[in-house]
Amino acid sequence: MSIEVKVPAVGESISSGIVSVWHKKSGEQVKAGDPLFTLETDKVSTEIVAEKDGILQTLVAEGAEVKIGEVVAEIQEGSGDAAKPAEKPSAAKSEAKPAPAAAEKSSDALSPAVRRVVTEEKLDPQEIRGTGKGGRVTKNDAVTAAQNRAASPEPASAPARPAENLSEKKAPAQSENGRFTRKKMSPLRRKIATQLVMAQHTAAILTTFNECDMTEVQTLRGKSQEAFTKKNGLKLGFMSFFIKATVEALKAVPQINSRIEGDDMILNHYYDIGVAVGTERGLVVPVVRDADKKSFAEVERAIAEYATKAREGKIKIEDLQSGTFTISNGGVYGSMMGTPILNPPQSGILGMHAIIKRPVAIKDAVVIRPMMYLALSYDHRAVDGKEAVTFLVTLKQCIEDPKKLPLDF
């Protein structure tokens, strides 16, 4: 008995994805719970696992775009050892009983999916080598046969057709002189591009700046680090300070913790703070839920877990939804200054930058202090300039005097 492996629904509004990698090869034994392939969508990457034990027969290649609900593989129930005798019958048995083999490959014995490929490609079922249970022809066998026929050399009278080379179809298109490489954008990169353009076209984005002295936070963090790590099993970072300071600033300026829907403005009375995380696939923004109710340790743990999941491609769609405000820390990459773009439908995003020692004037004296530039991009339709400045000033005060925050180390 064969079990179809279908592309599952992985979130609302997601209708397709790409089979980025097969973790098991066609013909390989799999067990229930084994990861079969990674489905890459415009929001997340998800590992799809086997539901039953058996032999895997893949029906689509790596890099193929597939629809939700599409059958991408079959699992033939049974073990690999049990399948081998059926796949490779002895010569004596094949000579004594030719009829069953022929019947197995007759048009009536083919599955609807295989029959469709055979009809469309005008294949002879008797010439297709079956790798399924008992020598049964699978859809993958039919597709492979069609590809092999297309790739086989044509008669001498016909000119060679290098474009039919399958390896060329799979490889990224390159220019003849090697000066550039053309390849398809990943679903995540396409989604990021769409979101950024939409934000620029639909919101009145404006950015205001300030700077903050990191001396007190660095001093407090240094004094508390050993005890914090010993108590909680993880380090105390800067991001938890900024998330807590952001919550205080949003409480002072609730208009920034809002979104516009049509002619309505929705004021959020909760604080789900998105934290932008860079990965090899692109930028994702997991959300720290109810940041105002979490301790510093809980915030740090949530950030660490999300970062690990994002880089391993295991983050879930629900981890990225319903944030009310976003923080993007370009400082970890050395950014000195930048203007972040809104994460729709949010009305504000905070950009953190590198901590740089600079000469500053304090009480008529020039001193060297670790300084950070801050940038707040906001939707001017919902937020006025006065409110944006008030937000940054409140955040700056909380960072420069951490005692204003609910410290619970």
Task: Quick: pLDDT tens for 313-365.
Answer: 778 878 888 899 999 999 999 999 999 999 989 999 999 999 999 999 999 99
Same domain, 305 and 329: yes
- Helix/strand/coil (H/E/C) assignment for every residue in 43-92: CCEEEEECCCCEEEEECCCCCCEEECCCEEEEEECCCHHHHHHHHCCCHH
3-state DSSP assignment of residue 374: strand
Asked, for residue 178, whether it belongs to a domain, the answer is no
Whole-model pTM: value is 0.64
Task: Point out the residues that are catalytic.
Answer: 380, 384
Q: How far is CA 164 from the centre of its chain?
A: 33
Same domain, 168 and 200: no
Q: How far apart are the first and last CA of the chain?
A: 58
Number of domains in the chain: 2
Instruction: Indicate if the pLDDT at residue 107 is higher than 60.
Output: no
DSSP string, 121-136: HT--GGGSPP-SGGGP
- Which residues, in sequence order, are CB contacts of 240 under 8 Å at separation 6+? 296, 299, 300, 303
What six digits make up the tokens of 376?
């707040």
What six digits make up the tokens of 173?
């298109």
Same domain, 200 and 168: no
> What integer best gives the mean pLDDT of the chain?
82
Asked, for residue 181, whether it belongs to a domain, the answer is no
- The segment with the largest mean pLDDT, out of 6-20, 23-37, 249-263, is 249-263
Range of the domain at 364: 188-404
The residues facing 327 across adjacent strands are 275, 350
Cα separation, 256 vs 202, in Å, equals 17
The domain that contains 56 carries what CATH number?
2.40.50.100
pLDDT at 91: 44
- Which one is predicted more confidently, 159 or 356? 356
Cβ 133 vs Cβ 83: under 8 Å: yes
- The segment with the largest mean pLDDT, out of 111-115, 278-282, 289-293, is 289-293
The residues facing 142 across adjacent strands are none
The domain that contains 354 carries what CATH number?
3.30.559.10
Least confidently predicted of 44-48, 110-114, 129-133, 248-252: 110-114
pLDDT at 297: 96
What six digits make up the tokens of 110?
């083919």
Asked, for residue 200, whether it belongs to a domain, the answer is yes
Same domain, 376 and 231: yes
Same domain, 166 and 196: no
φ, ψ for residue 22 (rounded to 5)? -90, 125
Cα separation, 392 vs 387, in Å, equals 9
Asked, for residue 409, whether it belongs to a domain, the answer is no
Q: Which amino acid is at 257?
A: N
Instruction: Indicate if the pLDDT at residue 139 is higher than 70.
Output: no
Instruction: Indicate if the pLDDT at residue 310 is higher than 90.
Output: no
- Which residues, in sequence order, are CB contacts of 382 under 8 Å at separation 6+? 255, 256, 258, 259, 260, 265, 347
Instruction: Indicate if the pLDDT at residue 63 is higher than 60.
Output: yes
Choose one of 143, 172, 201: the last residue of a domain: 172
Angle between helix axes 296-311 and 215-232 (nearest 10 degrees) is 80
Instruction: Indicate if the pLDDT at residue 147 is higher than 50.
Output: yes
Q: Which residue in 82, 75, 77, 86 sits closest to 134, CA to CA?
A: 86
Q: Kindly report, residue by residue over 35-62, the tens digit of the pLDDT.
A: 898 888 766 777 888 998 999 999 998 8
Location of structure tokens 């094949």? 94
